C-alpha cells in the first residue's frame, strides 16, 4: 500500500542530494580556487583609479584609499631581514669564472648577504591573487599597499614578452663575461677621462640627469639601460635642463628600467607600452612617447620587483633612518638601485660617478660649472651607500672608480 509514497520520497531525496552536490561544486570552483584565471580577470576589470589622498607622501604610514573607496589602515611594514620566500628567478647560467656571484660566494661576509635567487624583475606571470594579497601589506616601493589592484594588474599584464623577464639575453654575449658599467652623476667624473673605459663595457647603465653631450670624454656615450622613477626622471628634466639634460636618453637598443616607487610609475609604464596619453593621476595628459620615443614597445621596458627592492634594502642598505621619523620615506637612491641591479645580473661590474671617501673634493654633479656640495636628502642614506661601495670594492665584487 505505501510503495508509491516511498518511491516519491526516494526521488525527492535524490533530487536534493544532486542539487547539494551541484552547489558545492560551484562553490568550490569559484570560492576555493582564488588563483583561478577567471577570478584574476574579474578583479582586473576596468575601474576607477585609486590614489592616496592628495598631499600624502607614498609610504608615509597614513590611511590610504583602498579599492571601492573605503579606507584601509596604512600600517607600513618596514623592510625586514626576514623576507617572504620569493619565487626563484630563472637566471641564465653564466660561463664566467670570475663573476660577481663567484666572488660574492667566496667572501665570508657577502656570501651571507647575497641571495641570487631573488627575482630582479616583475612581469605578468608574477601577478597572482596570492602575490597581490602578500604585497598589498607593504608600502611602496616594497609592495602595493594603498595602490589600485586594477592599475597594478593591468600594467603587469602588458609585461608579457620574454624580454620583460630578464635584463638582457645572455646568448648575445657568448663564451665570456658580461661586463657592465653603472654610471652615476657624481662630480668625480668631471675631468676623469673615463669615457672610453666606460664605453668598452658590454652594457652601460645610466640614471636620472645623465648629461652626455659635452662630457663624452669623461662619461662616454653608450647607453644600454636608463633607470629612474617617474619622479626622479621628471625632476631631473627640470633641475638639470640648464646643464643640457633636456631629454631622456633614447635609442633603438636602449631599455628603460622603471623603479616602482609610486602609483604613477605603474600608470606611466602602462601608457608608455600602449603609446597613449596618461589617463589619470598627477601625470594626466602627459605623453610618454616624448620621453621614450615613438616606437617604445613592451620589450623596451623592465620593472624592478618589489621583493627585489625589499631584499636590497633589508640586506644591503638597512639604514638607521628606518628608526627615525623618516622611516616611511626611506629608500635607497636610484644610483644604488641601478648598481645593485647590475650586481645581480651582470658578471663583472664597474661603478663610475658614485660617492667615495673623498667626495668633498668634488662637485655634486660632473656637469656643474661651479662646484656645489653633495646634497644629502632625508630619504636616502648616502654615507651608508658609500660604505657599501667601499666594502664591495675591497672584496673584489665591484670595481669602484676613485681618484
Determine if the peptide bond prior to 67 is cis (ω within 30°).
no
How far apart (Å, rounded) are the C-alpha atoms in residues 95 and 170? Answer: 10
* Grid coordinates given for 293: 620615443
How far apart (Å, rounded) are the C-alpha atoms in residues 384 and 390? Answer: 10
Q: Cβ contacts of residue 288 below 8 Å, gap of 6+?
A: 268, 271, 272, 275, 276, 277, 278, 296
Q: Read off the pLDDT of residues 86-132 as tens digits, 9 standing for 90 and up.
A: 444 455 567 787 899 999 999 999 999 999 999 999 999 989 999 99
Q: Cell numbers 544532486 label which residue?
A: 18
Q: Cβ contacts of residue 294 below 8 Å, gap of 6+?
A: 275
How far apart (Å, rounded) are the C-alpha atoms in residues 178 and 118? Answer: 20
Per-residue pLDDT, 322 = 84
Cβ atoms of 67 and 50 closer than 8 Å: yes
| Greater pLDDT, 39 or 317 | 317
Per-residue pLDDT, 361 = 92
Alpha helices in 31-147 (DSSP H): 37-43, 100-106, 129-135
Task: Report helix, strand or coil for 63.
Answer: coil
How far apart (Å, rounded) are the C-alpha atoms in residues 204 and 31? Answer: 48
State percent of the chain over pLDDT 70: 77
Bridge partners of 204, per DSSP, are: 181
3-state secondary structure 362-391: CCCCCCCCCCCCCCCCCCCCHHHHHHHHHH
Q: Read off the pLDDT of residues 215-250 as tens digits, 9 standing for 90 and up.
A: 999 999 999 999 999 999 999 999 999 999 999 999
* Grid coordinates given for 123: 612581469
How far apart (Å, rounded) are the C-alpha atoms in residues 372 and 361? Answer: 10
Using pLDDT thresholds of 50, 70 and 90, give the confidence band for residue 27.
very low
Of 42-51, 131-140, 159-168, minimum mean pLDDT range = 42-51
Amino acid at each position: 500500500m505505501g510503495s508509491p509514497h516511498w518511491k516519491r520520497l526516494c526521488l525527492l531525496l535524490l533530487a536534493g542530494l544532486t542539487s547539494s552536490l551541484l552547489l558545492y561544486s560551484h562553490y568550490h570552483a569559484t570560492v576555493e580556487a582564488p588563483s583561478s584565471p577567471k577570478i584574476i580577470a574579474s578583479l582586473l576589470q576596468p575601474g576607477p583609479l585609486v590614489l592616496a589622498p592628495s598631499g600624502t607622501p607614498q609610504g608615509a604610514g597614513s590611511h590610504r584609499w583602498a579599492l571601492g573607496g573605503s579606507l584601509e589602515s596604512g600600517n607600513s611594514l618596514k623592510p625586514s631581514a626576514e623576507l617572504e620566500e620569493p619565487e626563484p628567478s630563472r637566471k641564465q647560467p653564466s660561463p664566467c669564472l670570475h663573476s660577481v656571484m663567484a666572488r660574492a660566494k667566496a667572501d665570508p661576509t657577502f656570501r651571507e648577504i647575497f641571495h641570487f635567487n631573488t627575482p630582479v624583475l616583475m612581469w605578468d606571470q608574477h601577478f597572482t591573487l596570492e602575490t597581490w594579497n602578500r604585497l598589498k601589506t607593504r608600502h611602496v616601493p616594497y609592495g602595493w599597499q594603498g595602490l589600485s589592484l586594477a592599475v597594478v594588474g593591468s600594467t603587469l599584464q602588458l609585461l608579457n614578452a620574454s624580454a620583460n623577464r630578464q635584463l638582457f639575453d645572455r646568448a648575445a654575449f657568448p663564451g665570456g663575461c658580461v661586463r657592465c658599467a653603472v654610471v652615476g652623476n657624481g662630480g668625480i667624473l668631471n675631468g676623469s677621462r673615463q669615457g672610453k673605459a666606460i664605453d668598452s663595457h658590454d652594457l652601460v647603465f645610466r640614471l636620472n640627469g645623465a648629461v652626455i653631450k659635452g662630457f663624452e670624454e669623461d662619461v662616454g656615450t653608450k647607453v644600454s639601460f636608463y633607470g629612474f622613477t617617474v619622479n626622479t626622471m621628471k625632476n631631473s628634466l627640470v633641475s638639470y635642463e640648464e646643464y643640457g639634460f633636456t631629454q631622456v636618453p633614447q635609442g633603438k637598443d636602449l631599455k628603460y628600467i622603471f623603479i616602482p616607487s609610486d602609483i604613477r610609475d605603474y600608470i606611466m609604464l602602462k601608457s608608455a607600452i600602449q603609446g597613449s596619453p596618461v589617463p589619470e593621476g598627477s601625470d594626466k595628459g602627459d605623453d610618454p612617447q616624448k620621453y621614450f620615443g615613438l616606437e617604445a614597445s613592451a620589450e623596451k621596458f623592465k620593472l624592478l620587483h618589489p621583493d627585489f627592492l625589499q631584499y636590497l634594502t633589508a640586506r644591503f642598505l638597512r639604514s638607521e633612518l628606518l628608526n627615525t621619523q623618516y622611516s616611511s620615506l626611506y629608500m635607497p637612491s636610484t644610483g644604488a638601485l641601478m648598481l645593485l641591479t647590475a650586481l645581480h645580473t651582470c658578471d663583472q661590474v664597474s661603478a663610475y660617478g658614485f660617492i667615495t671617501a673623498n667626495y668633498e673634493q668634488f662637485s655634486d654633479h660632473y656637469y656643474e660649472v661651479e662646484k656645489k656640495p653633495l646634497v644629502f636628502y632625508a630619504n636616502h642614506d648616502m654615507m651608508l651607500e658609500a660604505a657599501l661601495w667601499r666594502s664591495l670594492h675591497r672584496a673584489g665584487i665591484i670595481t669602484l672608480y676613485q681618484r
